[in-house]
Amino acid sequence: MANLKNMKDLSFGTKAIREGYQATNEQEHSEAIFLTSSFRFDCAEQAEKRFSKEEPGNIYSRFTNPTVDAFEKKLATLEGAEKCVATASGMAAIFTTIMALVKSGEHIVASRNMFGTSIVLLNTIITKFDISVSYVDLSDLSQWENALQNNTKLFLLETPSNPLGEVVDIKSLSKISRTNNILLAVDNAILSPVLQKPIALGADIVIQSATKYIDGQGRCLAGAVLSNTEIIEKVASFTRTTGPSLSAFNAWVVLKSLDTLNLRMKAHCENALKIAIWLENQSQVDKVHYLGLESHPHHQLAKIQQSGFGGIVSFEVKGGKPTAFKLINAVKIFSITANLGDTKSTITHPATTTHGRLTDEERINANISEGLVRLSIGLEDVDDLIRDIDRGLF
**Which residues sit at the interface with ligand PLP, rule CB under 6 A?**
89-91, 115, 118, 158, 187, 189-190, 209, 211-212, 221, 223
User: Cβ closer to ligand PLP: 80 or 116?
Assistant: 116
Nearer to ligand PLP, 161 or 323 (CB): 161
The residues with which 108 forms a beta bridge, in sequence order, are 133, 154
Confirm if 371 and 324 have CB atoms less than 8 A apart: yes
CB of 376 vs ligand PLP, minimal distance in Å: 10
- Toward ligand PLP, which CB reaches closer, 89 or 152? 89
Residue 239 contacts residue 217 (beta carbons within 8 Å)? no
Strands 223-227 and 83-87: antiparallel
In sequence order, which residues have a C-beta less than 8 Å from that of residue 43 and are 6 or more positions away? none
Alpha-carbon distance 57 to 55, whole Å? 6
| Amino acid at the residue 362 | E
Q: Output 174 or 209, the one with its CB closest to ligand PLP.
A: 209
Strand partners, 205: 185
Report the residue number, 342 or 370, with the smaller CB distance to ligand PLP.
342
Q: Of the two residues 65 and 89, which places its CB atom closer to ligand PLP in the complex? A: 89
Shortest distance in whole angstroms from residue 123 CB to ligand PLP: 15
CB of 343 to ligand PLP, least distance (A): 16
For residue 270, what are the contacts with CB-CB under 8 A and spacing of at least 6?
A: 382
Residue with Cβ nearer ligand PLP (210 or 373) = 210
Nearest distance from C-beta of residue 269 to ligand PLP, angstroms: 17
Q: Which residues contact 91 (CB under 8 A, 6 or more apart)?
A: 117, 118, 121, 209, 223
Report the chain's terminal Cα–Cα distance, integer Å: 55
Least distance between ligand PLP and beta carbon 137 (Å): 17
59 and 39 Cβ atoms separated by less than 8 Å? yes
Does 163 sit behind a cis peptide bond, omega within 30 degrees of 0 on the bond before it? yes
Q: Determine the angle formed by the axes of helices 229-242 and 90-101, rounding to 10 degrees.
A: 110
In the complex, the smallest distance separating the C-beta of residue 320 from ligand PLP, rounded to whole angstroms, is 26
Comparing CB distances to ligand PLP, the nearer of 244 and 292 is 244
Helical residues (DSSP H) of 186-247, grouped into ranges: 192-195, 229-242
User: CB 91 → ligand PLP: shortest distance, Å?
Assistant: 4
Query: For ligand PLP, which is the closer residue by CB, 187 or 278?
Result: 187
Smallest separation (angstroms) from ligand PLP to the CB of 155: 16
Q: How far is the CB of 299 from ligand PLP (least distance, A)?
A: 21
* Helix residue ranges, H only, 114-169: 116-120, 141-146
Position with the least CB separation from ligand PLP: 90
Cα dihedral: 196, 199, 201, 204 (round 10): 130
DSSP-derived pairing of the beta strands 335-336 and 346-348: parallel
